[in-house]
Amino acid sequence: MLYLHPYYRPGAQISLNLRSCADDRTERNVQVTVVKAFTPFTMSQVLLVNINLPVPDILPAGSTSFVLKVYDPRFLQHRKGTKSSAPHPWTLAAETTAARRRAFGADTFLPTWWPDESDTAGWEQYYFANLQHLFTTELAAYTRLLPLQGKSIPLCHAQGTLVLPTPATRMVVPRVLLLSYVPGPNLRAVNPARVAPAVGRALVDTVRAFGALGVIHDDLRPDNILLSPTHDEPSRAFVLDFGNAQLRAEHGNEEWEGALAENDEPKLVELMLDKLGIRHRV
């Protein structure tokens, strides 16, 4: 597990500058208290937080618990190293050099290659660009999928930035999303006999609707699907994590239809449910 920074620990106070996902013209400073971190962090850092009163007017009245996703490249799991890449721990010096390169217009594209192992600033740019892409893709996907928010995907309440603790020396201001909290087990943790076929069928229909609304999830797996509200009698499936999504704007119409057919995510979900023993035929 990666080192858990003090501002991600339970009880920590975090300050956010947020704008509504529906209307990004009004920014509010919002204070939250960390309830727990959903570890291990892989890409974004995912936290359950409570909004400190008073709840700002850009959030629903009466709601205090939310999921906060922070897109901070400092805490990527990949930094620990892989079978084909050495560890690349965060340093302020490398982050500063990468930011200075960006200020001069260098390395502003999304890298699709790994930098040289000795290029510490190159790795910082690689991580930074990927986290920025992850954030913008996930926000765009939630916007496309607005008709499904609160029904089969979480509500996207607000987006903005993390206010770093003072004195702030970082050269990166992490982006954040504030989403509705969906309680319940993931698809792998539920008792298949407790899931009604209609719930499984609705999940397949949800994924089919993604394509019609211009989104291919591209990371469908049991960990990214929650069944709510309880282990005993879940009544609804929610799909999470759209950072890897493909969006229709990236393709022409013919190319998009080809991408939908190639991925065939409704069929993928049916096969996943069959493997887990969850009924979906009604």
CA angle 156/109/213 to nearest 5° reads 35
Residue 2 has pLDDT above 70, yes or no: no
What confidence score (pLDDT) does residue 244 get?
Answer: 94
Specify the CATH class of 192-276 in words: mainly alpha
Report the candidate in 136, 132, 122, 138 with the shortest Cα–Cα distance to residue 173. Answer: 132
C-beta of residue 14 within 8 angstroms of C-beta of residue 34: yes
Q: Measured between alpha carbons, how far is 186 from 193 in angstroms, rounded to an integer?
A: 15
**54 burial via Cβ count (<10 Å: 0-12, 13-18, 19+):** exposed
Q: What is the band of 231 on the pLDDT scale with cuts at 50, 70, 90?
A: low
Highest-pLDDT range among 5-9, 36-40, 90-94, 168-172: 90-94
Contacts of 271 (CB under 8 A, 6+ apart): none
Q: What is the mean pLDDT of residues 254-277?
A: 95
Report the candidate in 245, 204, 209, 196 with the shortest Cα–Cα distance to residue 225. Answer: 204
Q: What is the band of 221 on the pLDDT scale with cuts at 50, 70, 90?
A: very high
Residue 191 has pLDDT above 80, yes or no: yes
The CA dihedral of 213, 215, 221, 227, to the nearest 10 degrees, is: -30
Higher pLDDT residue, 273 or 231?
273
What confidence score (pLDDT) does residue 33 get?
Answer: 97
- Residue 104 phi/psi, 5-degree rounding, is -100, 15
Q: What is the pTM of this model?
A: 0.92
What confidence score (pLDDT) does residue 111 get?
Answer: 61
Instruction: Name the residue ranges covered by the structural domains of the chain.
Output: 1-181, 192-276
| Helix, strand counts (H, E) of the chain | 5, 10
The CA dihedral of 254, 260, 263, 267, to the nearest 10 degrees, is: -140
Half-sphere exposure of 156 (CA within 13 A, CB side): 27
Q: Measured between alpha carbons, how far is 256 from 252 in angstroms, rounded to an integer?
A: 6
What rounded mean pLDDT belongs to the chain?
Answer: 90
Residue 113 has pLDDT above 60, yes or no: yes
Highest-pLDDT range among 196-210, 221-235, 243-257: 196-210
DSSP track, 95-139: HHHHHHHHHTT-S-S---SPPPTT-HHHHHHHHHHHHHHHHHHHH
Q: Measured between alpha carbons, how far is 1 from 11 in angstroms, rounded to an integer?
A: 20
Q: What is the mean pLDDT of residues 158-181?
A: 91
What is the three-class DSSP state of 166?
Answer: coil
Any idea what DSSP says for residue 10?
T
C-beta of residue 9 within 8 angstroms of C-beta of residue 35: no
